[in-house]
Structure 1
Amino acid sequence: MNPAVTTPAQLDERYGRGPRRRLPMIIAGAVALAVVGVFGWWTYQGSADAVDVTDRGFQLTDAHTVTVSFQISAPTDRPVHCILEAQDEQFGIVGWKLFEYPASTQRARAFTERIPVVGTATTGLVNSCWVS
């Protein structure tokens, strides 16, 4: 064999392309792919369970009650909880109530709820809603 001729095996050894050097890269790539997959799944689950709320208005029914109208868009077949509140002129909470809505086959639903108040309310709104 001519010493000037270089074989593919010698080139692989010289430039680090041997099978031993690929294994750590393959393992690192698999771990990175698994991490990306887990974070992707968590992101999907977070958006799949999102509840969108649209306030439709409020009415000061009397000195002790505020009525709030709103619409929710939530995942089907999952119960939803919402906290509604009434506020005074300084945005202090003068009344609130937790409502539970059973699972439904409809994605968008509208509700009108009454909130008892302990002071003079100037507004009523949906504080938050979540899938339970």
Structure 2
Amino acid sequence: MGSMSATRLKDLPPRLQDRYGYRRTPVAAIAVAAALAILIAGFGGWMAYRVANPEVRYRLLAWEAVSPDHTSITFEVNKGASSSVDCVLRVQDKRHQDLGYAIVTVPAGSEYSQTTYEVATRELGFAAEVLNCATPGNLHAPTEQFPPGTSNPPQPWRPA
């Protein structure tokens, strides 16, 4: 038996390379793939930065079901000093049905704001939350979800 050695296609003469389909690495394809990878990585980094550093940050600090007709909600907002912010507050019962729902405007003027708002409710609240805070026109939050035959009490709560 004779010895056989493996031959690489690129070591063959051009006539045989054409016959057996030697492929040269296309420099343009590699450059396009690299540019696309850099573009995707840059976009991913930008999105991660935007998620980690939103224009408006908010946090529920405390809430208290004061009585069956209202709940007190205290929350903080960090935003640009020159912009006002709308926040959606919600109070629910044990069945997760809305008892009170309010959109509160935090005025421009300070980067940090701590607000206490009295949400009027139909009965004693079981849970309270700040659904979202955003600049006007950019507010996206679930709509009020009251049981059939009921509606949101007039906001804000006022003593009788």
TM-score with structure 2 setting the length: 0.57
1:28–1:124 Cα change, 3 Å: closer
1:118 matched to 2:118? The reply is no
**Aligned equivalent of 2:44:** 39
Q: Which residue of 2 aligns with 1:96?
A: 101
C-alpha displacement of 1:77: 4.1
Q: Could you tell me how far 1:97 is from its partner in structure 2?
A: 0.3
- Kindly, what percent of the aligned residue pairs are identical? 17
How many pairs does the alignment contain? 117
Gaps of 5+ in 2: 1-10, 15-21, 139-160
User: Hey, what's the Cα distance between the residues in 2 that align with 1:70 and 1:89?
Assistant: 22
Secondary structure, aligned partner of 1:121? coil
Q: 1:71 to 1:89 in 2, by over 3 A?
A: same
Per the alignment, in what secondary structure is the counterpart of residue 31 of structure 2?
helix
TM-score by length of 1: 0.66
| Structure showing the higher strand proportion among its residues | 1
C-alpha RMSD of matched pairs (Å): 3.0
Q: Alignment partner of 2:73: what SS?
A: strand
Q: Please tell me whether the aligned partners of residues 79 and 102 of structure 1 are also in contact (alpha carbons under 8 angstroms).
A: yes
Distance 2:72 2:98 in 1: 15
Residue 35 of structure 1, CA deviation: 1.9
The structure where helix makes up a greater share of residues is 1
